[in-house]
Amino acid sequence: MRVVYRRAWYFLSFGAPGLLIYVCFVLVPILLSVGYSMTNYSLLRPGWTWVGLRNYELLLTDQAFLTSLRVTTILTVMVLVAPNLLGLAIAVLLDRRGWFYNAMRSVYFTPMVLSSVVVSVIWTRVLDDEGPLNQALRFLGVADPPGWLSDPDYALFSLGGIVSWQMLGFCVVVYLAGLQGVPNELAEAASIDGAGPWTRFRRITWPLLAPALTVNTVVLLITTFKIFDHVKVITNGGPGTGTTATVAFTIMQEGFVENHQGYASAMAVVMLVIIAVASVVALRVLQRREVQL
Is 104 a residue that touches other proteins (CB under 8 A)?
A: yes
Please, which residues have CB within 8 angstroms of residue 171's CB and are 6 or more apart in sequence? 83, 84, 86, 87, 88, 91, 216, 220
Is 159 a residue that touches other proteins (CB under 8 A)?
A: no
Peptide bond into 152 cis (omega under 30): no
248 and 226 in contact (C-beta within 8 Å)? yes
Is 291 a residue that touches other proteins (CB under 8 A)?
A: no
Interacting positions 161-190 with other proteins (CB under 8 A): 165, 168, 173-174, 176-178, 180-181
Q: Which stretch binds other proteins (CB under 8 A): 49-57, 68-76, 193-201, 224-232?
A: 224-232
Interacting positions 137-156 with other proteins (CB under 8 A): 147-152, 155
Q: Which stretch binds other proteins (CB under 8 A): 40-48, 77-85, 188-196, 199-207?
A: 40-48
DSSP state of 227: -
Is 125 a residue that touches other proteins (CB under 8 A)?
A: yes
Contact pick of 135, 142, 199, 289 for other proteins (by CB under 8 A): 135
Q: How far apart are CA 159 and CA 161, in angstroms?
A: 5
Q: How far apart are CA 175 and CA 181, in angstroms?
A: 10
Is 94 a residue that touches other proteins (CB under 8 A)?
A: yes
Single out the residue of 195, 187, 215 nearest to residue 290, CA to CA. Answer: 215
238 and 155 in contact (C-beta within 8 Å)? yes
Q: How far apart are CA 40 and CA 45, in angstroms?
A: 10
- Of 190 and 228, nearer to other proteins (C-beta) is 228
- Of 78 and 173, nearer to other proteins (C-beta) is 173
Residues 48-77, mask of contacts with other proteins (x by CB under 8 A): ------------------------------
Please, which residues have CB within 8 angstroms of residue 225's CB and are 6 or more apart in sequence? 72, 76, 247, 248, 271, 274, 275, 278
Shortest Å distance, C-beta 68 to other proteins: 13
Interacting positions 189-218 with other proteins (CB under 8 A): 208, 211-212, 214-215
